[in-house]
Structure 1
Amino acid sequence: MYECKGNIPILQGSRVRLRKMEAKDARQVFTFWSDCEVTRYMNIESMSAPEDAEDMILLLNRLSRSEDAIRWGIELKENGELIGSCGFNHWQLDGAFKGEIGYELSRLHWRKGYMSEVLGLLHAFGFETMRLNRIEAMVDPRNEPSQRLLEAFGWTREGLLRQVQYTSTGYKDMLIYSLLYEEWLRKEKGAYANS
C-alpha cells in the first residue's frame, strides 16, 4: 500500500521535472498564484504577497506528511524555473482506490504542451505507484482548456456536480471527470505498440 509520509519523489519528464516545493520557492510560486487569470478556476483566491505563497507551500508539505494531499512544483528542466504546481488533492486506498488531481500553470507557459507532459506523469504515478483504480478531476464548467486537455487523454466527463464547492464568491458547480486504470493501460499499451 502506498505511503507518502511527506516523501514527495521527483518525477522526470522530457521537459519538466515535478519536485517538492520549498519555502525558498515562494517568490517564483507567487508569480502564478497571484495571477487572477491562473487562479480564476481554482478554489483559492489570488495571493497578494509572497508570504502567502510561502504559507501555502508549508501547508501543502504538512498535508503530504499527514497523507491528506501531495503537491509538486512543476519545474522546467532547462533552467529550473517553477511554472506551476500539480498533485493529488486527496486519495482513498481502502475500498475505492481513487484519487483526485489538480493542477495550474503560469500564464506565460500556456499552450506549450507542458500540461500534457505533467498529466502523463500524474497518471503514471497514480496508477503505478499509488495503485489507484480511478483518478478524478473536478473542473469548473467555464474552464474549457482543462476539459480539452483531459478529454485528449481519454478522460470521461461523468456529469455536473451542483454547488459542490464553496469559495469566496459562493457555491460553485463543477464537472467531474475520471480515468480508470484499465483505460489508461489500454492507451499506454497502444502507445508502445505504435512506437
Structure 2
Amino acid sequence: MTPVLRGTRIELQAIAAPHAAALYEIWTHPAVGPWLNAPQLASAADAEQLIELLLQMSREEESLRWSIALQGGRIIGSCGFNQWQLAGAFRGEIGCELSPAFWGQGYMREAMELILDFGFGTMGLNRIEALCHPGNVRAAGLFSGLGFSQEGLLRQYRHTGAGFQDAVLFALLRSDRQKRLAGMI
C-alpha cells in the first residue's frame, strides 16, 4: 500500500483512477510530454489505463507512484520510484512531472524532498538516481538543487517514438544527503 506523504503545501497520495483526467492534461501538455519516457496517450481513458498499470506495478513492488495534490485536493503532477533494487544494490530511480502552471513555485522540490526522505528512510536505499533528457534544463536544475551529482551521459539509453535518446544520469547517496541536511555541504 502506498503511504500518504504530507508536506507543507502538498500531499503525495497514491496515484488513482480519479486522477486520470488531471494527469492526462499534465502528461500530454506540450511543455511536459516530450520529456516523458511514457507511451502516447490519446485520452483520459488511456491515462486511466496507464494508472492501472502503475498500480499493478506497485502491487508487485516494481514501482511506486504518487499524485501530487495541493491542500485542497487539486492534482498538479506525479512523482515516484520508477524502479528499485534492494538486494545487493540498495538503489532506486525516481521520476516526476508537474503542471507548467505550477513551475517555479517550489512544489516539485517539496515533493522530491518527501520521496527522498521516504527512499532513504523507509525503503533503506543507499543511492537514488534520476535520469533526464540532456535538453531538460528544468529537471537538471531540480536534481542539482537537491544535491544530486551529475554522473554522466548515457548515450542512446532510451527508445521513444522519436527514436533513440540520450539520458543524463544524476545520483544522490544517502551519506551526501545526510551531510547536506546537517549543513556540512
Give how far 1:23 is off. 1.1
Q: 2:17 aligns with which of 23, 37, 41?
A: 23
For residues 100-159 of structure 1, give each alpha carbon's deviation from its aligned partner in whole angstroms, at most 9, with x where no partner exists: 000000111111110110110011000000000000001100000111111111110001
For residues 52-83 of structure 1, give each alpha carbon's deviation from its aligned partner in whole angstroms, at most 9, with x where no partner exists: 11101111000000111000000001x21000
Q: 1:135 aligns with which of 120, 128, 132?
A: 128
Give how far 1:47 is off. 2.3
CA distance in structure 2 between the partners assigned to 1:147 and 1:24 by the alignment: 30
Number of aligned residues = 184
> 2:100 aligns to what?
107
Q: 2:67 aligns with which of 57, 70, 73?
A: 73
> 1:9 aligns to what?
3
In structure 2, what residue type is equivalent to 1:28? A
> 2:46 aligns to what?
52
> 2:165 aligns to what?
172
| Amino-acid identity (%) | 42
Q: Secondary structure at the match of 2:61?
A: coil
CA distance in structure 1 between the partners assigned to 2:80 and 2:141 by the alignment: 19
Q: Secondary structure at the match of 1:178?
A: strand
CA distance in structure 1 between the partners assigned to 2:169 and 2:8 by the alignment: 29
Q: Secondary structure at the match of 1:51?
A: helix
Q: Secondary structure at the match of 2:182?
A: helix
Give how far 1:190 is off. 2.2
CA distance in structure 1 between the partners assigned to 2:95 and 2:175 by the alignment: 21
CA distance in structure 1 between the partners assigned to 2:22 and 2:142 by the alignment: 25
CA distance in structure 2 between the partners assigned to 1:147 and 1:28 by the alignment: 25
Q: Is the 8 A contact 1:33 1:46 kept in 2?
A: no
Q: What's the TM-score once normalised by structure 1's chain length?
A: 0.91
Q: Does 1:148 align with 2:141?
A: yes
Give how far 1:34 is off. 2.0
Q: What's the TM-score once normalised by structure 2's chain length?
A: 0.96
Give how far 1:36 is off. 2.3
In structure 2, what residue type is equivalent to 1:155? F
> 1:4 aligns to what?
none
CA distance in structure 1 between the partners assigned to 2:125 and 2:62 by the alignment: 15
CA distance in structure 2 between the partners assigned to 1:190 and 1:150 by the alignment: 18
For residues 139-190 of structure 1, give each alpha carbon's deviation from its aligned partner in whole angstroms, at most 9, with x where no partner exists: 1000001111111111100010001111111111000000000000111222
CA distance in structure 1 between the partners assigned to 2:109 and 2:16 by the alignment: 24
Unmatched segments (≥5 aa) in structure 1: 1-6
